[in-house]
Amino acid sequence: MNQRSRIVAVLGKDAEKEVLAASEADMIELRLDLITGGDPLQIIKAVRNATAKPIIATARLKAEGGMFQGSERERIDLLIKAAYYADYVDVELLADQRDNAIGRIKKPVIVSYHDFHGMPSEKELTGIYEEMKKTKAAIAKIAVTPKSLQDNLRIMQFLLEADMPLCMIAMGRLGRHLRAVAPLYGSALTYGFITKSTAPGQMSLAELCLARKLLDCGISQQPGRIAHPRKP
């Protein structure tokens, strides 16, 4: 596994407890939209105090698998405030106020796209990627649902040809193994859960860490391909 790829532990509604079990992760993602038992800003503050690992803050759109209950303005406002405690903020490519959010967030941004139903065509995938590059994102994140092994090959080839830090995720059963394998092909990040999966086919943090140990074959680093998460 490329040493410059990062395993991200995804924290949900039990974030304050889960962060204590994320010692093997390289980074933390806090899903603010999954928090139901308290003030999300107080939760991310507590997570920040509990770990020195880089934190990604996100409040996922309902249309892209999220559970946020408020308005889009409230969601963007939450992300802007959460950025104070985070090292990165994840904003969806298709968010209505994407450019407004990116302009106001004073931390590196991960621009993300999710397709829970299928795999974009080659032309569509290229268009998504090119649009992400226009946003000047620190990392582009594309999560799709392969329908064939050929789709998995397309994902790996797309990673090999990337000219900016790119995370690609294959959701669902057919692409599940790519969560462990994609970092070998240059995926900047791969995400694992602590206690409960937050996306189709997601592996646990323990599974990803074991896979990294098993698959690490000393692949040479490729400058410019993988992001260097900033220290808090």
CATH number of 185's domain: 3.20.20.70
Q: Is residue 139 part of a domain?
A: yes
Q: Is residue 75 part of a domain?
A: yes
Q: Is residue 219 part of a domain?
A: no
pLDDT tens for the chain, 232 residues long, are 555 799 999 999 899 999 999 999 999 999 999 998 889 999 999 999 999 999 999 999 887 878 888 899 999 999 999 999 999 999 999 999 999 999 999 999 999 999 999 999 999 999 999 999 999 899 999 999 999 999 999 999 999 999 999 999 999 999 999 999 999 999 999 999 998 888 888 999 999 999 999 987 544 344 334 444 444 4
> Does the active-site annotation cover 228?
no
> Does the active-site annotation cover 117?
no
The pTM assigned to this predicted structure is 0.90
Q: Is residue 154 part of a domain?
A: yes
Q: What per-residue confidence (pLDDT) applies to 113?
A: 96
Q: Is residue 224 part of a domain?
A: no
Q: Is residue 217 part of a domain?
A: no
* Among 45, 62, 141, 231, the one annotated catalytic: 141
For the chain, what is the domain count? 1
CA angle 174, 142, 171 (to 5 degrees): 20
Q: How many CB atoms lie within 10 A of CB 122?
A: 11
Q: What per-residue confidence (pLDDT) applies to 38?
A: 86
* Among 45, 53, 114, 123, the one annotated catalytic: 114
Q: Is residue 230 part of a domain?
A: no
Q: Is residue 40 part of a domain?
A: yes
Question: Rounded CA gap, 30 and 48, in Å?
Answer: 10
Instruction: Provide the angle, in degrees to the nearest 10, between the axes of the packed helices 149-160 and 122-134.
Output: 30
Instruction: Provide the domain limits for residue 206.
Output: 6-210
